[in-house]
Structures are given as C-alpha cells and as structure tokens.
Amino acid sequence: MFFRLLPWEYGIRNLFRRPLRTILTFAGLTTVIVLILVVVGFIRGLENSLAVSGDPQTAIVFSLGMGENIEYSSIAMRTSDLVPASISGIQERYGNKYVSPELYLGTQVGVLTPGNTESRETLGLVRGVTPAVLLVRKRVELEEGHWPEPGEVMIGRLVAAKLGATQEEVGLGKSIELENRKWKIAGIFSCGGAAFESEIWCRLDDLQQAMKRQDLSIVALTLKPEADFADLDLFCKGRLDLELQATREPDYYATLQRDYGPIRWLAWLVVLLVAGAGVFAGLNTMYGSVIGRVSELSMLRTIGFVRRAVVVSLMQEAIILSLAASLCASFIALLFVNGAAVRFTMGAFPLRIDSVSILIGCTVGLALGIFGAIPPAIRALKMPVVDGLKAV
C-alpha cells in the first residue's frame, strides 16, 4: 500500500529553520567521521607501508632463528662473497651482481638543537650500506643532496617523524649524533612509501668502525626472474657452519603484517567504538530535535500524512546532514591527515586516506544519519495526536 510522502524540500528547509542546532549536529558528526578516517588511515598506512616494502625478486639472508628480528641478526662479513659465488641465479649487470651487504640496527640517535649545544636522544633505525644497495633497492630515489661520504649519512623522508624532530632539525647540512659521533646529513631519499623511508643510511665501513663490529646483519640480493629461490634456501641450510636462513622479502614483510595483526584489530575496535559513540551522540541530538517538534509532527499527521511519511522525512533530514558531514570530514582528512607521518615501532609511516578510507568514513556517516533518526522519530510519533497538538 502506497502512502503520500512529504515534499522533498520540506526536510531541507527544516535544516535551515534551526541553524544553531543544525550547525552543532553537523560539527559533531564531522568530528566523529574525521576521527574514524584518522584511525582507518592509520590502518591503511601501516598495511601499505609493509606491502610496498617487499620486492618479489629480492631475498634476504640473515642469522638462523632470528625470525623477523633482523636487527639482532649477525652473520660473517664473508657471507656477502660466499652467497654470490655459490648461487648462479643472482641478477647482474656489467659484471656487478645485485648483492647488498648491510648492517641494520636500532640505536639511540641524538638530534641536535638549533644552537648545537645539546642533543635530544631517541631510538632510530640505522642501516650501513654500500652503493650496491641501489641495485637491490630499486625504488630508492635521492631527492636532495648526495651519496654520503665518510662521516656523513643520508636519511629517509620520514626520519624526522621517527625521531620526533622537525624537518629543520634534520635538514641537509644539519648533524645528528650516533655512537658518540656527529654525522652530517648529506642527502634525503624516498622509497615509494616503503619502510626504508624511516631509516638512516650511512657507509657500511663507517658504521662498522663506529660500532666496533666486523659482521653484517643481512645480505640482500636480487634473483633473476627465472631463478629458483630453493637454490638459495638449500645453500643456507647446507652451510651449517654459517648458521644462515633465507627468505623472500615479501614473505618477511608478510610476517610483520601478521605480527601487527592485533594492533590492526585494536584499531578497528576503536573505529567501532567511535562510531558507536557517534550513534549515541546522534541519538541524543535527534531526540532533542524531534521532541522539540512534537506539535509540528502531530500537525502533519492531522492534515493526512501517515507516520511512515513523517519518519521518512525525518530520516531524510538526518541523512542529508550526515552525508554533508561525511563530505566535509573527507575534505578535512584529505587536506590535513593524508600523508601525515606517525611514529611506530617499525619506524614511521604516512597515514593513508585512500578510496577505501573515504568509503568507510562515508558509510559510517550514512549509518549515523539513519540509525540516529529512526528511534527518536518512532518514539515521538507514538504520542497520540491530541496530546501532541497540546505539547509546547
């Protein structure tokens, strides 16, 4: 059975008849959706950073039993020569094999104050490399400066966020303290959003000398497309004296994804809690809005509009308001949140407000409008018409 609906413009005009209440409701909904977008952007940024960090053709060799904790790995320096000499499937160009010996660790890094009078120490990620790293890490691009000379470092574009410093404090020509030495920042690099962007890179021999170590953490290498990873795996398992293990780089970062699974679930729980709080806030606001219009709603029923038509009109108002808030929140998130770097245990990564984040935010906003309008509307319309007309 069909019923006559209220005119479409009636609900829109009602939004402007009570501008203060509309503005407050709009601001509350926008705030809730922005918070949801921030949390979803955190999840998407973390997932994207780990997903783009692994190259399918790259494998890493590190200490047996280290799992995903390669910063604690220690292998012999000669491993970087033994592996390419024993494996035939390594990619090479002009006689140079794509093999990168690396010393990777987490240590205290001092950020110097503008006057260079004192330093503020925090945990940073440092990687000692050779120029061969550019063959293996194909996405690395030097955005400013030059390759580090002795006593110099180059930093990823997210190092400032990782160290809790400003871009000026870790800009080109500035210095950082590492292992009781001052290192000049010679360059800034990017890596397509990969985890390497929160690391400090320096010459391998320099870092070994500063750390008083002659070992390596990992050997990263690029296999030919037709090469079989099993050959590298067999070599590591066969050399029991070296105590090595090998894994594909995407598999390593997939392990990190699983390890960070509880954090992602916690973030989704925060999304649900924030959305639930938004629903209750919307219910409270809509209750106040609807209860204050009892006489108006009763008059609509008196002139022939059924309850369902009135409920649809109230839902229309709430949905229009929530969708407008969703669009405003999406604009704010894209402008101020997208790309903002956050510190994390693995380093730092940028928040990512992509199409999935926007879809989730707008869906939650729509749900807030729908579920926030129905209960108070039904409660108000249960009141007898005569009593409603007498309400003040």
C-alpha 68/C-alpha 8 separation (Å) is 59
What pLDDT sits at residue 154? 95
- The pTM score is 0.81
Q: In the block, which residue shows the tokens 């009593």?
A: 387
pLDDT tens digits, one per residue of 55-95? 889 999 999 887 778 888 999 999 999 998 888 889 988 88
What pLDDT sits at residue 1? 44
φ and ψ of 182, to 5 deg: -95, 130
pLDDT tens digits, one per residue of 292-339? 666 777 777 677 667 777 777 778 888 888 899 999 999 999 999 998
Q: How confident is the model at residue 380 (pLDDT cuts 50, 70, 90)?
A: low
Inform me whether the pLDDT recorded for 5 exceeds 90: no
From 86, 128, 82, 76, select the one nearest 107 (Cα to Cα): 128
Which amino acid is located at 260 in the chain?
A: Y
φ and ψ of 14, to 5 deg: -65, -30
SS3 state at 329: helix
| Count of Cβ atoms closer than 10 Å to residue 15 Cβ | 19
The arithmetic mean of pLDDT across residues 221-234, rounded, is 89
